[in-house]
A and B are shown apart, each in its own frame.
Chain A
Amino acid sequence: MIEFEALANCASSGACIVNQVTSGLIIGMLLFLVASGLTLIFGVLNIINFAHGSFYMMGAYVAFTAYALTGNYFIAAIFGAIGAGLLGVFFERFIISRVYGQNVLLQLLVCYAFILIMDDVVKLVWGAEYLAMGIPDEFRLAPIRLFGGFIPPLYIFLIITAVVIGFGAMLLIAKTRFGSIVRAIAENPSMVGALGIRVPLYLALLFAIGCALAGVAGALAAPVRSLTPGMGLGILVESFIVTVIGGMGSIPGAFFAALILGLTRAVGSIGFPLFVDGAMFMMMALVLIFKPTGLLGGGGVKR
């Protein structure tokens, strides 16, 4: 089951180690962005956005088109985030807010419907074929040499940007006035409403931010992943595993869990390629059995 020889070969080569660690970091940090959006929305609204992967997908496709039009990767990424954020506002206002406080069945169904619709919309607009954005012009630079391995500058940019944005979102919630209002809404929405604050507006904004995090992850990933309708679901399940392991509602928890998962994927692709998914699920099951609140999480998991 485990290919020890391949692992040993890799461990003895600096280039292989550097490659695997970089690819693990990219997987992990993109997951971190998606998961922090999921956990942000859950923390305040106590809703798991099952349609979260659709916003990741939209971010990627919008960025693809924006890059094709402008030729600028940075602008494309910003468009990806804004596109997913706007779609998030639409989804929150017209669909999910109508089932706030209702049973999970209805929430699940509207998300299911939204995923179906978005997948088909992408097929209508962009076609059902795989699309590839390719390495953007800005990053057609010589790779950086490290311990005998080569790291493309794009990868370094991706990793750093994802970490900065993810923790930026955490600071937004922890340190700003917007954040304190949103946290107050999570505690007691009717009280905050009585103070004259427009709760629905803040909820829509928060939802938009959560979706924009997924969108920017999709946009950043566009050069290194192929785009296809339905690409959102895989990342949704993985980012859920991240939030379970890290603890629902905790962004630092999501960071550590995403790191663990990304590296597991990278090492696993060499050492146990058939068992990578299994290893992730096993980790999640172990956390749920022994520490159901997640490694850095609060409470509220048990019924």
Chain B
Amino acid sequence: MSMFRNFSKEILWVLGAFLAIVFVGLFVDHPWPKDFLTSLFAFGLLAMSLNLLIGFAGMVSFGHAAYFAMGGYCFGLLLQSTSFTGSLGPYSVPLAIILAVFGTGVYAAAVGAICARLNEIYFAFLTLAFQMFLYSVILSWVDLTGGDQGLMGGIPRPLFLGIDLSQALDRYVFCAGLFCLCILFLRIIDKSAFGQSLRMIRDNQERAEFLGVRTYRIKVICFTIAGMIASVGGIILALFTSGAYPEWAFWAQSGEAIFMIMLGGSTVFVGPILGAVLLRLINDVVQMYTSHNELVTGIVILLVVLGLRRGILDFVIDKIKDRREAKFLADLEAKKEDQ
């Protein structure tokens, strides 16, 4: 159990966050905060898992929403199958989650194995191409997926361990739990030796290889983990909306996730979550005033990218670091002059 000792600080932090989220659910009566937070759990996990690729390993994927959608569809399809729920009864929800996550993981591993050897431009485009492939499968396989209508008719959610996911509060707390578990896992990767290997690959892949790091293998593992965590995001959204929709697999969903990372900051752990919050708020505000929210979102992206050139938290951290380093170097100079 050395893992718990090693990462006790991270575990306590996430536990605290979980309790705070549950607190909001218990004591705020209005449905808006719960709904907003639940959709944030879903899109936050999409953005956070994508940042494992972009911010950590420097692998700019343009097709990450594919795994998000796949998680949601697998989960929904399993629970809609009466033979699945009939034979498993109370175990069907947890088992559907596990199967959806690992199924997505297998697919992500296959795509990752093909893409991880490519340079970054090819990588971006190829991941996009695989996403469009999944999208076209969802649209054309109408018998299974409902085509452009999505998975209709609701997703049954049999009671398990006393948790009734058709109840708003149970669902909210359960989704919060899934979210926090994934965030904890990502935070442990952030602090782990594996996470450091990802940053080595981002900074200088050739040197990492020469220090004995198995870069290809690590990139494929990273791609797989990122896909699996994104699928949990999709599962949360499927639980929340009681359905699954082809837009989740559309390229614009991946573009949005990339922008969340860029907006919040890719070098700071919680950056993507901040980005997800901001983008949700921007969308909500824009929708109040105009139906042309794509136009406005596009202009906002251009302004942020061409103006700031990095995320908000990146910007803050860079400023702090610059100041600290400038002071340090100035002290060093002063010491030299004294001697």
Contacts and interface: CB of A to CB of B under 8 A. Distances in A.
Interface of A: 46-48, 50, 95, 98-99, 102-106, 108-110, 112-117, 119-121, 123-124, 233-234, 237, 240-241, 244, 248, 274, 277-278, 281, 284-285, 288-289, 292, 300-303
B259 A112 contact: yes
B331 interface: no
Nearest to A119: B294
B297 interface: yes
Interface stretch (B68-76, B130-138, B277-285): B130-138
A74 to B, nearest CB: 33
A113 B121 contact: no
Interface string B246-259: 00000110010011
A105 B60 contact: yes
B115 to A, nearest CB: 8
Residue with the highest number of chain B CB atoms closer than 10 Å, among A46, A109, A121, A277 = A109
A292 B301 contact: no
Given A105-B262, A113-B302, A237-B128, 16 more contacts: A98-B306, A103-B60, A104-B60, A106-B309, A108-B62, A109-B305, A110-B302, A112-B298, A114-B298, A114-B302, A117-B294, A120-B298, A244-B126, A281-B133, A289-B114, A301-B118
B328 interface: no
Q: Using C-beta atoms within 8 Å of the partner chain, give the interface range for chain B.
A: 35 or more
27 contacts: A48-B124, A48-B125, A50-B124, A50-B128, A95-B306, A99-B305, A104-B120, A108-B60, A108-B258, A109-B255, A109-B262, A110-B305, A112-B258, A112-B298, A113-B301, A114-B298, A116-B255, A117-B298, A123-B292, A124-B292, A241-B129, A244-B125, A244-B126, A248-B122, A278-B133, A288-B114, A301-B122
B141 interface: yes
B339 interface: no
Contacts of B122: 244, 248, 301
Contacts, number: 127
B83 interface: no
A110 B292 contact: no
Contacts of B120: 103-104, 303
A234 B297 CA distance: 22
Interface in B219-261: 251-252, 255, 258-259
Nearest to B61: A108
B121 A104 contact: yes
The DSSP consensus for interface residues of chain A is helix
Contacts of A248: 122
A174 B26 CA distance: 70
Contact of A302 (B118, B132, B302): B118
A285 B111 CA distance: 9
A108 B292 contact: no
Nearest to B131: A237
Contacts of A104: 60, 120-121, 124
A105 B252 contact: no
A214 B31 CA distance: 48
A95 B306 CA distance: 8
Given A104-B121, A301-B118, A240 B129 contact: yes
Contacts of B306: 95, 98-99, 110
B85 interface: no
A240 B118 contact: no
